[in-house]
């Protein structure tokens, strides 16, 4: 399929992940049946770019999975940077913690366990950058919760906004929720945004 060929070509011409992150991907693949929830190199490198060019110091991630994107962003953060990442699944937590502890950047990461809609209000402060990649049904609810926590000029990145193309003509509940979020962001005059057809779709939002 041409789309897969293009993605493979793009990945081959994109800066590689660190050795530890490649090890994390391998371990995730060996321990889990599916690792399609990994953001992937194209999204991962873009997140690292966003951290660096925005001079982010405080980052919030919603949806850790096995820690790929959290570790990618932590590597891009300065020494004084801090990243909070929210996860609910205990099995994913075990893999993520293992690699956070192995990394020289692991001290920047705070893994918050529990339902993110309940734990986010307990995390204090505002954020320079937020990455949303959690349960799709709650995407509209996450947006309402996260936007006030984003500082003026801050960046919100939302993954899987195309949902395999289903968001264009949504029928499933997840696709409908994603489409609702996409429309929600497009109508929000407090932000400017671009929806990029990278991998499964990534929207980058900047708070005015």
Give domain limits for the chain. Answer: 2-207
pLDDT digits (tens, 9 = 90+) for 149-183: 999 999 999 999 999 999 999 999 999 999 999 99
pLDDT digits (tens, 9 = 90+) for 70-113: 999 999 999 999 999 999 999 999 999 999 999 999 999 999 99
Q: Residue 53: which residues within 8 A CB-CB, separation 6 or more?
A: none
Q: How far apart are CA 42 and CA 46, in angstroms?
A: 6
Residue 3 pLDDT: 62
Contact assessment for residue 162 and residue 201, using Cβ atoms and an 8 Å cutoff: yes
**Confidence (pTM):** 0.95
Backbone angles phi, psi at 95, to 5 degrees: -65, -45
**pLDDT at residue 1 tops 50:** no
- Which superfamily does CATH assign the domain made up of 2-207 to? Vaccinia Virus protein VP39 (3.40.50.150)
Q: How far apart are CA 204 and CA 161, in angstroms?
A: 10
């Amino acid at each position: 399929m041409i789309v897969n060929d293009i993605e493979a070509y793009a990945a081959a011409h994109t800066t590689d992940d660190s050795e530890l992150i490649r090890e994390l991907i391998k371990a995730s693949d060996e321990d889990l049946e599916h690792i399609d929830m990994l953001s992937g190199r194209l999204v991962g490198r873009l997140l690292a770019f966003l951290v660096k060019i925005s001079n982010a110091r405080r980052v919030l991630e919603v949806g850790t999975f096995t820690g790929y994107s959290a570790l990618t962003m932590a590597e891009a953060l300065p020494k004084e940077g801090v990243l909070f990442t929210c996860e609910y699944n205990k099995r994913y937590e075990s893999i993520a913690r293992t690699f956070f502890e192995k990394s020289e950047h692991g001290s920047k990461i705070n893994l918050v366990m529990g339902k993110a809609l309940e734990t986010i209000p307990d995390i204090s402060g505002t954020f320079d950058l937020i990455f949303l990649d959690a349960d799709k049904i709650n995407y509209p609810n996450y947006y309402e919760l996260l936007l006030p926590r984003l500082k003026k000029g801050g960046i919100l990145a939302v993954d899987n906004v195309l949902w395999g193309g289903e968001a264009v003509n949504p029928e499933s509940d997840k696709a409908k929720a994603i489409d609702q979020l996409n429309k929600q962001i497009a109508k929000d005059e407090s932000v400017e945004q671009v929806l990029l057809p990278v991998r499964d779709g990534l929207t980058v939002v900047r708070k005015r």
